[in-house]
């Protein structure tokens, strides 16, 4: 039982036990009336060392995050929390450091993301994880890409479907992210200096559906092409575009009148002809 455990003689250390009865050591510090956990450790000395490091960070205004080294007992993310609390008077459970009009989120000492203040509430309660170049959070039992908050779809490609205005992919402020293509299978192109939208669908290779005046027309053309291919027994599970701001009647009118490539409308006969040419 916890109440029968011995007390530690070392400052900032509390002895606790696991379900199997083995002991571990909690480290914590109280600053300006706030009790802050510094983590759990396997040895009493490590827990005390974490407390001393935390106390040193809080009391030394000259201590900055670039001074953290691998031989520190205190994890880097906890140091970020302490420095932010020391300098800004606000404690977050995630590694956030506040600036005047934006904030930094530290994935590690060298990998730093920049966000608008509008995102502060969300990321103060969601831990960002990274796998390769993919950034995501765990939300409602699922992994959610942080780019989805900007309307960027999972299939989108940087440089083609969206871009970072200043070229810095770690700057995730809203003004720095431009969504070029909002819909699946749609590519913005220039035709004689005018903006047009090309719809493309993949069936073993890319098929051009057509070129259209608006992004919405191209998105609907993609949906129509997917339906036509399905009717011709093409076994691919195409995810259709959802046009949130368009009424069902307007959608139906465009769908009925939109033209798609004859290669899509007669895909099976075109495929049979090509197969015959190869033999």
CA gap 264, 255 in Å, rounded: 15
The predicted structure's pLDDT at residue 271: 56
The predicted structure's pLDDT at residue 277: 39
Q: Average pLDDT in the 12-31 region?
A: 92
Write out 58-78 in H/E/C secondary structure: HHCCCCCHHHCCCCCCCCHHH
The predicted structure's pLDDT at residue 279: 38
For the whole model, what pTM was predicted?
Answer: 0.80
According to DSSP, the β-strands at 23-31 and 34-41 are antiparallel
CB 30 within 8 A of CB 14: no
The predicted structure's pLDDT at residue 41: 95
Residue 203: left (phi > 0), alpha (psi -120 to 50), or beta?
A: beta
Sketch out the chain's domains with CATH numbers. Answer: 1-74 (3.30.730), 92-180 (no CATH), 186-278 (no CATH)
Average pLDDT over the chain reads: 91
The predicted structure's pLDDT at residue 236: 87
Q: How many Cα atoms within 13 Å fall on the side-chain side of residue 40? A: 6
- Taking alpha carbons only, the member of 178, 175, 172, 176 closest to residue 159 is 178
- Taking alpha carbons only, the member of 43, 97, 53 closest to residue 75 is 53
CB 107 within 8 A of CB 64: no
CA gap 160, 192 in Å, rounded: 19
- For the four alpha carbons of 3, 5, 6 and 9, in that order, the dihedral sign comes to negative
178-205 pLDDT, tens per residue? Answer: 999 889 999 999 999 999 999 999 998 8
CB 38 within 8 A of CB 12: yes
């Amino acid at each position: 039982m916890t109440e029968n455990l011995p007390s530690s003689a070392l400052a900032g250390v509390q002895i606790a036990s696991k379900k199997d009865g083995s002991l571990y050591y909690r480290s914590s510090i109280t600053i300006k009336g706030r009790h802050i956990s510094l983590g759990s450790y396997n040895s009493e000395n490590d827990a005390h060392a974490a407390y001393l490091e935390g106390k040193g960070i809080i009391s030394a205004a000259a201590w900055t995050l670039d001074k953290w080294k691998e031989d520190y007992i205190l994890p880097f993310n906890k140091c970020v929390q302490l420095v932010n609390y020391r300098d800004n008077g606000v404690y977050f459970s995630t590694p956030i450091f506040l600036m005047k009009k934006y904030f930094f989120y530290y994935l590690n000492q060298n990998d730093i993301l920049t966000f608008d203040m509008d995102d502060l509430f969300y990321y103060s309660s969601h831990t960002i994880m990274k796998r390769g170049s993919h950034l995501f959070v765990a939300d409602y039992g699922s992994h959610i890409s942080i780019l989805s908050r900007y309307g960027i779809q999972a299939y989108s490609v940087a440089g083609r479907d969206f871009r970072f205005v200043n070229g810095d992919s770690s700057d995730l402020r809203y003004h720095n992210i431009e969504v070029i293509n909002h819909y699946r299978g749609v590519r913005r192109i220039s035709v004689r200096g005018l903006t047009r939208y090309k719809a493309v669908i993949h069936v073993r290779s890319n098929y051009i559906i057509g070129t259209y005046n608006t992004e919405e027309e191209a998105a609907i053309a993609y949906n129509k092409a997917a339906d036509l291919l399905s009717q011709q027994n093409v076994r691919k599970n195409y995810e259709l575009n959802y046009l949130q701001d368009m009424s069902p009647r307007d959608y139906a009118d465009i769908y009925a009148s939109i033209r798609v490539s004859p290669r899509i409308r007669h895909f099976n006969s075109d495929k049979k002809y090509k197969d015959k040419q190869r033999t």
